[in-house]
């Protein structure tokens, strides 16, 4: 991990002296389920994110993986306050974003940006590429029109697009090119944190590598910190420094990438990793897949105790009674499982 | 050497800077629909005639639509008859479309009647779009209880039969105008405005009252579906304010179907104006209007003088048809899903 330069006086350090850029504690996001025609009342809630805590260090890439519907995208959006959390705190550069609103929150958005999954939906089809990339600057009143135009040209060049493209419209570009436009837009304000919500899963495999390499180059050049949401496990191992595995709104395991892939401790992580093919015929033949039975329970009505107990191959009695907490079992490696201690 | 490579690089540059705007694409698509182009041409022609009517009258192409000719020996003249014109030191005046029962030139009345029809159509559509789009977008964008309340009010208005309400209100306003001396000062001002506009003012109010509800529903639905798109979320992540999201991101993307409905509604307004004038509760009698002309034809033996009914109905039919063709062409042109890109 590149050692980041300390600059902000509000910087927080953890025990190892690493600078914490983003500190998420007990984050919950419940979506209400409403019923009724005119007088609506809440009949329940979908617990999309249910008590998630993690730190993101400056300059690193934290991966957030899990199957569809486990709440990883919701976590990303709640961190950015695109959804307001039900509970918990999101400390970014020492400021609790949950307590901010209106103009103060709007000003903080300069420091944190997002890259979206679907490059076909994330660009306004009625705006030219130049206007799309310049929009963050316009919204925050930065620079004169000439300076903005210059910055747009620079950004286009930086993400590997022809600066002549400023007057073109999104529909004239391929998926990979559009994703580059989305990246240029996210970079326009020089943010410190970028939440990348499955930025490559909508792209062709041949384009994925290009975009991932671009993201890594930009990270080095601008000292960016990524919260990288994905479900492609081999890609995550390639680009993430640490990985958090989510299941049904909770983090079940959090560890440095290599540690997680070599020594998965949670039964869910083990099952997940057993699905990754190994590019070595000898090892691949020996690979044992752990097939989980059943489906993910409804997040509106999660099981009592450990929420993985309905599918866990090794569950014991206490798993159906007590909820396991995420605890550190070796330096940097945390697991939420009763059977690991 | 430089001369040899120059044309080549120029050619590439032109290709790279060539811009295909969404509007340009729409126009290309629109031109393919022949009927829509014909409709647009007829509408432009009619608007030009209606605006230039006074000029055409000054050069002797049209007659004063209120002037009653003295035609000895007959009550009304069939098309293509000529008579002496005492106002112009007795040169001939030829009635291309004949005269009505009061010996007024039918062609002049038909073209001056287009002024009433077109202004009712355009202003009625403008009013309903303005109210309907802002109402629907507010309901759709803010959602929740506001949306519920606003749309239930629309449902309530939707239950009122509109033509019946138009008639009742027009009868009421006509009575108000007739009783000018006995109403309050505010109502007197309104009546004076209405008289100076030949009865059009109250017509606008009546049409504007209910016509926006369909537009409001459409605008709300479009807003709801567009609001879910990633680029709206992206705008929020950038830090754009509500006003910017509504006007820069939402409005241009939902305008297509709204414009189509707006153009279609122009034809509807022209029809309603004709109906009301035909019933004698539209514009005030000396002002020429197509509905009034049809009513006049009914009072005469139009078997002997078919031009009395043919002239206004053909004008009405061509105009309404043109607006429908135009709307049809616009729907194809503005719907990106039908376009080959």
Q: Sign of torsion, CA B214 B218 B219 B221?
A: positive
The dihedral region occupied by B264, where left means phi > 0, alpha psi between -120 and 50, and beta the remainder, is alpha
Residue B16: its chain A contacts at CB < 8 A? 162, 164-165
ipTM: 0.83
In this prediction, residue A7 carries a pLDDT of: 43
pLDDT tens for residues B164-208? 888 888 888 888 888 877 777 888 888 888 877 777 788 888 888
Q: In a mutagenesis test of the B interface, which of A80, A124, A181 is the best target, namely the one with the most B β-carbons within 10 Å?
A: A124
Q: Are A227 and A194 in contact (CB under 8 A)?
A: yes
Question: Concatenated DSSP letters for B265-326?
Answer: HHHHHHHHHHHHHHTT-SS-TTS--HHHHHHHHHHS-TTT-THHHHHHHHHHHHHHHHHHHH
Tokens coding B132: 């309907």
CB neighbour burial string for A119-143, b if at least 16 within 10 angstroms, e if fewer: bbbbbbebbbbbbbbbbbbbbbebe
pTM (2 decimals)?
0.80
Q: Which residues contact B143 (CB under 8 A, 6 or more apart)?
A: B224
pLDDT tens for residues B122-173? 998 999 999 999 999 999 998 888 888 899 999 998 888 888 888 888 888 8
Closest partner residue to B253 (CB to CB) among A82, A126, A164 is: A126
Cross-strand pairs, A49: A29
| Fold type of domain B32-60+96-338 | MetI-like fold (1.10.3720)
Q: Does A125 touch chain B (CB under 8 A)?
A: yes
Q: How far is B139 from chain A (nearest CA, A)?
A: 15
In this prediction, residue B86 carries a pLDDT of: 65
pLDDT higher than 60, residue B302: no
| Three-point CA angle A159, A160, A161, nearest 5° | 100
User: What percent of chain A has pLDDT above 90?
Assistant: 29
In this prediction, residue B3 carries a pLDDT of: 43
Whether A109 sits inside 8 A of B239 (CB atoms) is yes
User: What percent of chain B has pLDDT above 70?
Assistant: 87
Average pLDDT for B87-104: 72
Q: Which residues contact A99 (CB under 8 A, 6 or more apart)?
A: none
Question: What does pLDDT average to over chain B?
Answer: 81
Whether B234 sits inside 8 A of A114 (CB atoms) is yes
Place of tokens 């616009």: B330
In this prediction, residue A209 carries a pLDDT of: 87
Which residue ranges of chain A lie beneath pLDDT 50? 1-10
In this prediction, residue B8 carries a pLDDT of: 42
In this prediction, residue A256 carries a pLDDT of: 92
In this prediction, residue B104 carries a pLDDT of: 80
pLDDT higher than 90, residue B209: no
Strand ranges (DSSP E) for chain A? Answer: 12-13, 19-35, 41-57, 61-65, 87-92, 95-96, 112-115, 193-197, 225-230, 242-247, 250-256, 327-330, 333-335
pLDDT tens for residues A48-57? 888 899 999 9
In this prediction, residue B176 carries a pLDDT of: 82
pLDDT bin (cut points 50, 70, 90) of residue B297 is confident
| Closest residue in A to B153 (Cα–Cα) | A38
Q: Does A136 touch chain B (CB under 8 A)?
A: yes
Closest partner residue to A114 (CB to CB) among B21, B237, B252 is: B237
pLDDT higher than 90, residue B29: no
Whether A107 sits inside 8 A of B239 (CB atoms) is yes
Average pLDDT for B218-224: 93
Q: Which residues contact B89 (CB under 8 A, 6 or more apart)?
A: none
Whether A121 sits inside 8 A of B238 (CB atoms) is no
Residue A170: its chain B contacts at CB < 8 A? none
Q: What is the rounded CA–CA span in Å between residue A175 and residue A178?
A: 5
Q: In a mutagenesis test of the B interface, which of A73, A83, A126, A175 is the best target, namely the one with the most B β-carbons within 10 Å?
A: A126
CB atoms within 10 A of CB A8: 12
Q: What is the rounded CA–CA span in Å between residue B307 and residue B100?
A: 9
Tokens coding A37: 């025609």
Mean pLDDT is lowest, of A235-249, B34-48, B282-296, B307-321, for B282-296
Domain-wise residue ranges, chain B: 32-60+96-338
Quickly list H helices, chain A: 72-79, 102-108, 129-139, 145-158, 175-187, 205-222, 233-239, 257-262, 267-273, 281-286
Q: What is the rounded CA–CA span in Å between residue A166 and residue A185?
A: 12
Q: Which of B207, B122, B294, B255 is nearest to A124 (CA)?
A: B255
pLDDT higher than 70, residue B338: no
Average pLDDT for B223-244: 90
Selected residues 198-237 of chain B with any CB under 8 Å from a CB in chain A? 229-231, 233-237
In this prediction, residue B136 carries a pLDDT of: 93
């Amino acid at each position: 991990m590149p050692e980041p330069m300390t600059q902000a006086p509000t910087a927080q350090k953890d025990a190892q002296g690493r600078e914490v850029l983003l500190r998420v504690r007990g984050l919950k996001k419940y979506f209400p389920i409403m019923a009724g025609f005119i007088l609506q009342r809440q009949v329940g809630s979908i617990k999309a994110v249910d008590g998630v805590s993690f730190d993101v260090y400056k300059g690193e890439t934290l991966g957030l993986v899990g199957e569809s519907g486990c709440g990883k995208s919701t976590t990303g959006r709640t961190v950015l306050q695109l959804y307001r959390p039900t509970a918990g705190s999101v400390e970014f550069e020492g400021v609790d974003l949950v307590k901010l609103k209106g103009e103060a929150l709007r000003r903080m958005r300069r420091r944190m940006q997002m890259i979206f999954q679907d490059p076909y939906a994330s660009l306004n089809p009625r705006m030219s590429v130049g206007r799309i990339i310049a929009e963050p600057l316009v919204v925050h009143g930065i620079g004169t029109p000439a300076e903005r135009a210059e910055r747009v040209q620079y950004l286009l060049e930086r993400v590997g697009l022809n600066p002549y493209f400023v007057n073109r419209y999104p529909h004239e570009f391929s998926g990979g090119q559009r994703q580059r436009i989305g990246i240029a837009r996210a970079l326009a304000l020089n943010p410190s944190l970028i939440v990348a919500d499955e930025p490559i899963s909508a792209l062709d495999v041949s384009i994925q590598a290009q975009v991932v390499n671009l993201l890594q180059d930009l990270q080095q050049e601008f000292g960016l910190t990524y919260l990288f949401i994905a479900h492609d496990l081999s890609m995550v191992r390639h680009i993430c420094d640490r990985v958090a595995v989510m299941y049904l709104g909770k983090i079940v395991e959090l560890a440095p990438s290599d540690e997680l892939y070599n020594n998965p401790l949670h039964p869910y992580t083990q099952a997940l990793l057993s699905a990754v093919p190994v590019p070595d015929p000898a090892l691949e033949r020996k690979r044992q897949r752990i097939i989980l039975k059943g489906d993910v329970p409804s997040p509106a009505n999660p099981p009592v105790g450990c929420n993985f107990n309905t599918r866990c191959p090794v569950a014991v009695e206490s798993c159906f009674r007590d909820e396991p907490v995420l605890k550190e079992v070796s330096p940097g490696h945390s697991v939420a499982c009763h059977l690991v201690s | 050497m430089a001369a040899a490579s120059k044309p080549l690089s120029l050619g590439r540059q032109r290709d790279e800077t060539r811009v295909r705007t969404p509007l340009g694409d729409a126009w290309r698509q629109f031109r393919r629909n022949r009927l829509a182009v014909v409709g647009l041409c007829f509408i432009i022609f009619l608007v030009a005639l209606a605006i230039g009517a006074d000029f055409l009258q000054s050069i002797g192409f049209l007659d004063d639509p209120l002037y009653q000719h003295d035609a000895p020996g007959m009550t009304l003249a069939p098309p293509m008859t000529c008579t002496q014109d005492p106002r112009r030191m007795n040169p001939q005046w030829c009635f291309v479309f004949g005269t009505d029962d009061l010996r007024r030139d039918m062609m002049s009345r038909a073209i001056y009647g287009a002024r009433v029809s077109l202004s009712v159509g355009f202003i009625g559509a403008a009013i309903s779009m303005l109210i309907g789009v802002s109402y629907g977008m507010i309901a759709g964008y803010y959602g929740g209880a506001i949306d519920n309340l606003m749309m239930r009010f629309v449902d309530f208005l939707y239950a009122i039969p509109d033509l019946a309400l138009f008639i009742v209100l027009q009868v009421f306003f006509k009575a108000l105008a007739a009783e000018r001396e006995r109403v309050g000062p505010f109502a007197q001002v309104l009546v004076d405005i209405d008289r100076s506009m030949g009865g059009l003012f109250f017509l606008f109010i009546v049409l504007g009252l209910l016509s926006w509800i369909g537009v409001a529903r459409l605008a709300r639905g479009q807003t709801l579906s567009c609001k879910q798109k990633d680029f709206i979320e992206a705008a929020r992540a950038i830090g754009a304010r509500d006003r910017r999201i509504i006007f820069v991101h939402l409005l241009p993307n939902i305008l297509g179907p709204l414009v189509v409905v707006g153009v279609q509604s122009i034809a509807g307004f022209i029809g309603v104006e004709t109906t009301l004038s035909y019933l004698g509760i539209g514009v005030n009698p000396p002002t020429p209007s197509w509905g009034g002309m049809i009513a006049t034809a009914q009072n005469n033996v139009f078997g002997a003088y078919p031009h009395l009914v043919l002239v206004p109905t053909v004008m009405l039919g061509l105009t309404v048809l043109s607006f429908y063709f135009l709307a049809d062409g616009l729907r194809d042109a503005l719907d990106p899903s039908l376009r080959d890109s």
